[in-house]
Structure formats: C-alpha cells, structure tokens
Amino acid sequence: MSFARFALWLASTSLVLAQSASNSTIAASSTAATDTGSLSTSLLSTLSISFPLSTLSSSTASLLSSIASTETATVLSSSVSGSAASTSTANVSISSISGSATSSLSSSATSVSITTAATTSSATSEPLTESRVTVPISSYTFSSFPVPSETAIPNVFPVTDPMDPPPVGAAVVPDFEAAWAAAYQKAEALLANFTLHEKINITTGVGWENGLCVGNIGAIGDFPGLCLEDSPLGVRDADFITGFPAGINSATTWNRQLMRRRGLFMGREHVGKGVNIALGPMMNLGRNAAGGRNWEGFGADPFLSGETAYETVLGLQNAGVQACAKHFINNEQEHYRTLESSNVDDRTQHELYAHPFLKAVMAGVSSVMCSYNLINGTYACENDKMMNDILKREFGFQGFVMSDWGATESTISVVTGLDMTMAGDITLGSHTTFFGQNLTAYVENGTVPESRIDDMATRIVAAWYYLHQDAPGFPKTNFNAFLPGDLATNFHVDVQDEHYKLVREMGAASTVLLKNVKGALPLTGRERNLFMAGSDAGPADIGPNKYADQGGQTGILAMGWGSGTANFTYLISPYEAIQHRARRHRTSISWTFDDFDLDRAGNMAIGQSVSLVFINSDSGEDYIVVDGNEGDRKNLTAWHGGDDLVLAVAAQNNNTVVVIHSVGPLILEPWIEHPNVTAVLWAGLPGTEAGNSLVDVLYGEWNPSGRLPYTIAKNASDYPTMIIEGDIAGETPGQAGGGDVVLNITYSEKLEIDYRWFDAKNITPRFEFGFGLSYTTFEYSNLNIAKIPQTDSEQTSDEARWDAGNATRIEEGSSTALWLHRPAYNVTFDVKNTGDVYGGDIPQVYIHHPASASEPPSVLKGFTNVEVMPGETKLVSIPLSRYDLSIWDVVQQGWRRPDGDINEIKLTVGASSRDERLNGTIPA
C-alpha cells in the first residue's frame, strides 16, 4: 500500500538509500518519552539525488505547473547529521498573498518523467505522458498567513466556540475567530520555551504500532501528546462502542438534525475513549459510482456533501473531539490511489471537489488530512497550490494539515503546507521518517526556517486548546488499538450511552423507498405468512466481526470495509428483527439464507403473503481485497447472485419486496420492472440497528423520507467515469516495485458528474438523484423568492463588486468571507400533505444558470426536511447566498455571478433533480 508509493518516490527522484552498516540503530530526537512512546526516527542513509529542474507557475490562476527547464542539477549527498546542500540557490518565499495573484511557492521545482496510462472512461480514453513535479531542496523563507478578520454580527455572524455551535438550521455563518485567537495565544505561550527538537516532535508521529492509537504524538513537557483514531462511523479498534450508520446514510437522510446528532454522538464516544482527533468526516465525492470508499462520504453532489460535512464537523467538535476533514483532495478511487495523478482543472476543483472542505473550514474544523494521490502531477501532501494557496490562504484555515498514513513524500513537504506526518514513519513500521531528525537537519542547515516549524507546532497545539482538551477532566486514552486484549492498556470503557436510538432512527430515515406498487408497503401485520430469502437477511455465520476491518462479508451488510469501519458491539439482522415483530401479529415466518439454491428459494416463496428478498453489494479500502474487488467494485451488479435470487422468488410469488444493502448504486434492470416485484427498499449501510430500522419502515412506524444521494443508472456505461482496471506495466495496486509508472486520470467530465452528466447528456436514469417515495403524497405551492434587505451600513464594497459582476478579491479567507455566504435571498413555499398518513418530505432547490455561465443544466443549492400531518400545510423557507449563485472565475481567481442580469438565473423547487414542481427567477 504505502510502500508502493514510497517506491515511486525513490524511483522517480533516483534516491539511493545507502544505509550505514556501522550504524543501523534508530536515532531519536531529544524529547521526553511517554508510556506510549515519543520517538522521532531518522533516515540512516546517504542521499544522492539527481533530477532535471522545472519551474512552478507564479500565478494561482492555474493548478497546472509548467515545465520550463531541462537543465540538470545534482543535490550533494548528506547524512542525517550533516547538511542538505544544493547547487540550486533560488529562494522560495512562503507567505500570505495580498492583492495579487502571486503563488505562495515560487522557485525551481524538480520534474521526473513518468509514463502514464489511460483511464477507462466514457469521458476520456487517450493515453498521456506527464512529468511529476516535486519540490526542490533549496533555501526557503517563511511568514505566516494573516488571519482573516471580520466584525461579528449577532444573528448573522455570531461569535462561536466549537463546543457551543449555532443551532441546526440557523441561517448564520459561525464566527470562530475569537476561539482560534485564544487558542493560538495559549499555544504560543506553551511553545515559547520548547527546543527545536521538541517542536519538531509535536509534528512527527511516533510510528506505526508505537502507541495506543492508530496515530500518536508523544508527550513533551506540559503537552500530553495526541491520540488520533479512525473512523468516520465510530471508534475503530475499540470495544463497547457504537457502529453508526455510514456517512452515505447520513447524507441519504437529507436531514441536518440527524446529521448533527450523529456527529455529536460519535464525538462523545471518541472523547470517552480518550481520542483527541477523530479521523473524519470523509468528504471525497462519488465521482465513480464504483468507488470503494464512497460509502464513507456523503454522495456525488458537492452541495449535499458540503452540508453533511458541515453538520458532522459541528457535531463532532461540539462533543470536544477534533474533527479531521479528509482526504484532501481528489481521492476518488482506490485502484492505484498512490500511483495516480488526478488531473483537475481549476474551476472544477473549486466548484466541486474543494467545496465540502470549504464547508468544513466554515464549521471550524481543526485538522485536514492530505491524500495519497497526485494532483496535476504533484503529490497531494506536497502540493503547494492545494495546501497553502487554497486551504490556508483562500479558505483561511487556521488548523493543521496531517498526512494520510504514509502519504508524506519528502521532508521538504513542510514548505508546501504539511504540518504533521502520520503515522510518522515513511512506510508503516519502517522506523524511518521524513520529519524528526531529518527535519531538524533541514532547519540547522538553513533549508527550512525555524519560523515554519513554529507555525507547524503552533497550529497543532492551538487545535488542542481550541477544543479545550487541556481541561483536567479530558479522558486519557483507555483502549489499545493494536492489542485489544491487553488488560494493562485496555480498560473496556463503555461509551455507547443510548446512542442505539439514534442509529435506529437514522437507519429508518436513510431508507429510500424506490418502488411501491398498489400499496405493497407498509406491511399491515395481517400477513398470514412471510418469507425471507438471501444471506443479507441473516446474521454472519460466526458473529459480526469475523473479518478484521470488516474485510469480508457474510450475513447482513451494515458497513463497508477498511479503516473507515468499527467493530460491532452487536448487530441486529433483519431476520432477528422481523421475526420479533411478526410474532406480535402471529405471522408465520420462514427463510433461507442460501443465495444460490434458487429452486428452493422459489419453491419456498409459493403461497407466501409477502416474500422479502435481501441483496447487497460491498466495497472498501484497497489494502483489503474481497472476492477480487480491490477496494473499488469490479462492477455494479448485486453480490452473491442477488439478481438471480430476486428473479427466482418473483417467478413464484406476486408480492415480492426487495431490500438492498449497498455501498453505492446498483444496476437493477434485470428485475426492477418485473410485475411481481411490488416494492423496493434501499437501506444502504445502516449500522448496528440495521434490522430494527428496516422493520420500522416495513411496518410503517417510519414513513420513508430518505432520498438518493446519487443517481442509479439503467446501464453502467451511462455514468461519465469508470474505475481503472487491470495492471499498469505489470504493477499490482498497493504493492511495491516499478514506481516510475503513474496513471493519469483526467477529470474531463469537469462539472458534469452524476445527475449533472445525465441532465447535460439527456440520459434517462432508472432513479434520479434526490429521488425517494413516501407512504403519503405532498403538494407544493405559493413560491416566493425575495431579496433579503440590507441597510446601507450593512452593504459592503465586496457585495457591491459582486452585484456589479466582479469576482471576489484575492486575499486571505476570500472564499469563506461573511459577505459571500450570509443569506442574500429567501425562497419560501408551502408544502401540503395530501395523503392519509403523517410523513416527512425533502423539498430541494435547484439553480439553472444562463447558458453563458457554462454550468450544468441543474445544480442543487438548497434543501430541507419538513414533517406534515395529513391535510396540513407548512411554510418552508430556504435561504440562498451570493456564493450559492456564483461560479468560479479562473481568470480573476474569485467567485462572481454569471454575466447578464441576475434574473437570468432560474430556480426550481421539487422532490428530486428531475421533479420540478415550482419555477421562479432570482429577483434583481
């Protein structure tokens, strides 16, 4: 996995590790150690690096680095105790950007020619050759980024502490400036007397399996160190915890209240286990329908993903744990994730893939994790454009950037924005590091200024103070991620509380009703007999934690696999829950968990009042391969012969209900229109209460309100992109060797992913983005779109610029500025329940830009959830900001409204991306 990426680094820079035979011990930095270990190791090697020089563009207007020079330079060899000298004498200034489009990194950059392969996609198929851009070993200067400063405004921009966030649904932009300022002041005071070695140790993980958590910063002086722990759905590798619904289910609720509570309860469990930094949420977009880790994130739309990320971060940090927004950025597939360059244009990056991270920063997120992949030829964790210019300058991010585990590419990555290396070692368990003593040497020989080390350590310690983790009552780490059976370090602290109630509610709220013919659902309890078919209906054969990190699948599928998982304390299967509920009605129950005995399943379905067929599809992270699926799914069909099982049962029973637990979209065409398939429920990955939440929907205790966070196509080829399959020059993903080969993945579909692609290409989906049925019906009426009035004193020069068609200024915090995000327009309308039962609906607002804007036909920019009694009407209000109506201008490097009059921007309100019920225009 990570070794393959390191092998690429070695090959592409001609790095030779000539380890001294006379000194093979691990050198430690001079810091105080803790019981978890505080070890900063070094490369015991001689560096001999030879490469051609290139030039980074001086403009932030382009994400692509231009290769301008072919002259060769040789970096002189150095040992860990010596200096890293270079024939290059160019100075690089890393500083704030004020008033001009000046790159935060300007110097010679190395380039290494790499062969690339083509992406298997309907959008692009031409093979490409590109050069990897690396950062030169040179002499750098540093000045910290100025902190964006705005005046707090009650009810619009209220002063906020991360542990006291604004209420859910409040149309405000929270102001965390005072909280960050206080945290920085404390951090600077603490670090004032720290030595260089001690400050560097704050930035350097102690190494894989050298602490209690998956990531650890050792204790130094009065700083107790940090515990970093997965996952985005629970406390990984711990006991007596809750397995929450996956991130994709959180998005599927389209319910901000549930999103926030999920984050809050997960945060409380992390804090209860003594975790400082929860490694989530994950907010990469579902660019590829078969992407292995899509289920950890929040779907295929940037706005929905951004809103879910925002609420999740607010919830996590309300509980007192630091949230970590990951994976920054363009980590949209698992195949070759350490050996591929995601080539993304500037506008697409801003409008799609960076947006959820922007929302996380606006939620006050403490940390961001850079990803394994390259971005436009430069690895994410040494990418100056992304970490310095966009994240720290443009977004005004005041927290720290950590590497994904083993994703640090070089010591010099500190100058491009990396603040912490995790788990600390170059490859997991290697006892070597790019930071530690090597970073000390870079400071001592003048390559990296100590002021940059001060900045790194201050950001990390400030985040600790920012979440008040210096409080005496903050729990010490009380579990051992690597030795769960060790009684000396695992105290079996129960942090579950009553969180199962939320899991059950959220599982029901994230269940999508896709089909319901003649009221097949809900079940009435008068069913004489009920039959269940499919292994997904039952429990796993030897318990829910049979496979490490859920890297295998038997029984009910309630989460995917990989580091984004948690152990189940218990798991309720549909078989258990349905049998318990059916007993109340004296219904006769039968079942088969054999997916492949089709004759038996069909025969058992004969004469049943209702037959429930359970099918699923799994995926995960690429270090685990399940049934040939290397993280990403090989196809979009149901696992375990699920389609054939549905057809076998439906052939013998005219009331067949299909229940689907899946990580993402499936092709349902083999049976979706079968006349005997009367209902379909999409349950996703609902967590530990999976069976109970399903029963609540089946029997009408919960009226389905879940809506799809992605498009379900009729054919896999209808999607704009596909996962790259096959070997690259004989390479196996996640394995070492042949690291000079990097795959180019060009995001040539640009802004048109998921429903945007289907709309632009006029492709009819099976079920569109935002779709979901209910047991009742809703009627929309009385649309009104009004500009929110402002007094002359409230009108800013920036707002006037925007109104005149000019872009935001190039300055610190330009993309997260108050004026850009405060409510500017209010969309109101009525929703009436025209059916017979109580239920919730998800009204959605879509913007339609004029053709001159070159936007997709329809883009989501607002939603809410509303619960209505039969015959009742409720007024719904959804605000829109200037940012919601803006497009990214790659020339002016800012957000602006499209050309023309503002009322050329159209708006629709509906129940999905293709259910337009009300239409209007943005008023001048």
Which residues share a beta bridge with 282? 326
Tokens 């083509």, residue located: 118
**Alpha helices, DSSP H, located in 192-327:** 196-203, 247-253, 256-272, 302-318
Asked if the bond preceding 181 is cis, omega within 30° of 0, the reply is no
Radius of gyration, CA atoms only, the chain: 27
At 65, give phi and psi (nearest 5°): -85, 135
Closest to 285 measured CA to CA, from 763, 769, 625: 769
Asked if the bond preceding 146 is cis, omega within 30° of 0, the reply is no
Catalytic site residue from 384, 389, 404, 884? 404
3-state secondary structure of 584: helix
C-beta neighbour count of 748 within 10 angstroms: 19
3-state secondary structure of 450: helix
At 464, give phi and psi (nearest 5°): -65, -45
- Give catalytic status of residue 404 as yes or no: yes
Can you tell me the distance from the alpha carbon of 80 to that of 27, in angstroms, rounded to the nearest whole number?
A: 9
Alpha-carbon distances of 308 from 297, 304, 347, 773, rounded to whole Å: 9, 6, 22, 21
Give the pair of three-digit tokens for residue 216: 């650890």
C-beta neighbour count of 862 within 10 angstroms: 21
Amino acid at 242: T
Residue spans of beta strands (DSSP E) within 208-300: 215-217, 226-229, 277-278
Can you tell me the distance from the alpha carbon of 734 to that of 724, in angstroms, rounded to the nearest whole number?
A: 14
> What is the sign, positive or negative, of the torsion defined by CA atoms of 779, 785, 789, 790?
positive
At 815, give phi and psi (nearest 5°): -90, -10
DSSP 514: E
Within its chain, how far is the Cα of 716 from the centroid?
24
559: left (phi over 0), alpha (psi -120 to 50) or beta: beta
At 767, give phi and psi (nearest 5°): -135, 125
- Would you call 824 exposed, middle or buried from its count of C-beta atoms within 10 A (0-12, 13-18, 19+)? buried
Closest to 594 measured CA to CA, from 653, 641, 664, 548: 641
Would you report the helix, strand and coil content of the chain in percent, each value rounded to 5?
Answer: 25, 20, 55
C-beta neighbour count of 251 within 10 angstroms: 29
At 550, give phi and psi (nearest 5°): 55, 30
Residues annotated as catalytic are: 404
